Amino acid sequence: MYGGRSGEHEISLRSAKSVIAALDPERYEVIHYEINKEGKWRPGPIVPEPDGNPGIDVVFPVLHGTFGEDGTIQGLFELAGLPYVGAGVFASAAAMDKDVMKRLCRERGIPVVESVTLTAGNMDAAEACAQLGFPMFVKPANLGSSVGISKAKNCEELKIALSVAAQFDRKVIVERGIVGRELECAVLGNDDPQASYPCEIIPSKEFYDYEDKYLLDKAQTILPADLAADTTAELRRIAVDAYKTVQCEGMARVDFLLESATNKLYLNEINTIPGFTSISMYPKMWEHAGIPMARLIDRLIELAMERHAVRRALRYSI
């Protein structure tokens, strides 16, 4: 299932193409469900009732961002009683909302960057200016692929950045700017998740935005990241801890910032449907670990079926 109404529609199409190419035609018969930018389904929507979709054994959602990665489509799969790849309703919603994710991880003791959350009714830059120093990063709370993200170096830029972010979400996160390195780690599994070795992203621009990720093709990646052994071990530990904290299953890419001045790791984001494009690091990190793309896809489907078997054994009434 791919496409969707979010600003990451085109990325979803590219990810889906890679996933479909990796599926073994001897094992799988692929049924394509494409959702266009207006939310129209082809060939038609899934029926939201158990046993209402007899031709589907398992769903592989490759829907990034709003309406695909935020728990909404996962709720439909739950109503339909269908196995599906990736995080469930709660984990998807919690990881997608940067404010909620930070609160959960902070409660767990996981280091997250200091931030201020503003809502549509109170998009006042003064609160952020009073609590955080410049530069600041301004992000829509519920969006991915760096859509709507700006870096603000003064109050005037902050006001503009808030206006841009507010076009994409009614809740906006303002974070203290971290000067340092951008790192990513792939996590795979259900009850016993495993973390890959991390990679480092070296942006070609001031920060790793949508253009740098998908259009310019100039950002550099280092896999594995050149880190001290204890830093690598700590990053992998935190990645799994954060994954469990938001109750992820199946897969997630966990992103970090390593502050240069303090050498401190900060959890940045948890992406429950990471990219699978030709330049995406989630499959590349597992390939480096000895799990090629085709086997990774097999394993994700296996994890989906295993979770579904457990869920089917539960009782929902007395």
- The answer to whether residues 184 and 172 belong to one domain is no
Read off the tokens for 253.
């890419």
Q: What pTM does this model have?
A: 0.91
Q: Is 75 a catalytic residue?
A: no
pLDDT at 284: 97
Give me the chain's average pLDDT, please: 92
Please pick, among 253, 268, 280, 282, the residue that the annotation labels catalytic: 253
Q: What range defines the domain where residue 142 resides?
A: 115-176
- The answer to whether residues 295 and 183 belong to one domain is yes
CATH number at residue 15: 3.40.50.20
- The answer to whether residues 294 and 189 belong to one domain is yes
Please pick, among 4, 8, 53, 65, the residue that the annotation labels catalytic: 8
Q: How far apart are CA 149 and CA 208, in angstroms?
A: 10
Q: What is the pLDDT of residues 262-273, one digit of tens each?
A: 999 999 999 999
Q: Is 55 a catalytic residue?
A: no
Please pick, among 12, 15, 115, 145, the residue that the annotation labels catalytic: 145
Mean pLDDT of 159-168: 88
Answer with the residue of higher pLDDT: 180 or 217: 180
Please pick, among 69, 184, 209, 255, the residue that the annotation labels catalytic: 255
Mean pLDDT of 13-36: 95
Q: Is 269 a catalytic residue?
A: yes
pLDDT at 282: 97
Torsion of CA 246, 87, 78, 85, to 10 degrees: -170
| Residue 209, pLDDT above cutoff 60 | no
Answer whether residue 242 is part of any domain. Answer: yes
Q: Is 253 a catalytic residue?
A: yes
Please pick, among 169, 271, 280, 307, the residue that the annotation labels catalytic: 271
- The answer to whether residues 54 and 133 belong to one domain is no
Task: Among 128-142, 158-172, 252-266, name the most confident range.
Answer: 252-266
Mean pLDDT of 13-40: 95
Alpha-carbon distances, residue 164 vs 139, 157, 196 (angstroms): 9, 11, 35
The answer to whether 193 touches 244, Cβ cutoff 8 Å, is: yes
Band of pLDDT at residue 207, cut at 50, 70 and 90: low
Q: What is the pLDDT of residues 166-188, one digit of tens each?
A: 888 889 999 999 999 999 999 99
CATH number at residue 199: 3.30.470.20
Beta bridge partners of 117: 173
Alpha-carbon distances, residue 75 vs 69, 72, 89 (angstroms): 11, 5, 6
Please pick, among 88, 275, 280, 307, the residue that the annotation labels catalytic: 275
Q: For tokens 């992406």, name the residue.
A: 271
Q: Is 8 a catalytic residue?
A: yes
Q: Is 255 a catalytic residue?
A: yes
The answer to whether 297 touches 19, Cβ cutoff 8 Å, is: yes
Q: How far apart are CA 79 and CA 47, in angstroms?
A: 9
- By mean pLDDT, which of 34-48, 75-89, 204-218, 240-254 is the weakest? 204-218
Answer whether residue 66 is part of any domain. Answer: yes
Answer whether residue 144 is part of any domain. Answer: yes
Mean pLDDT of 41-59: 94
- The answer to whether residues 46 and 57 belong to one domain is yes
Please pick, among 2, 33, 214, 282, the residue that the annotation labels catalytic: 214
Q: Is 230 a catalytic residue?
A: no
Q: How many structural domains comprise the chain?
A: 3
- The answer to whether residues 188 and 294 belong to one domain is yes
Answer whether residue 93 is part of any domain. Answer: no
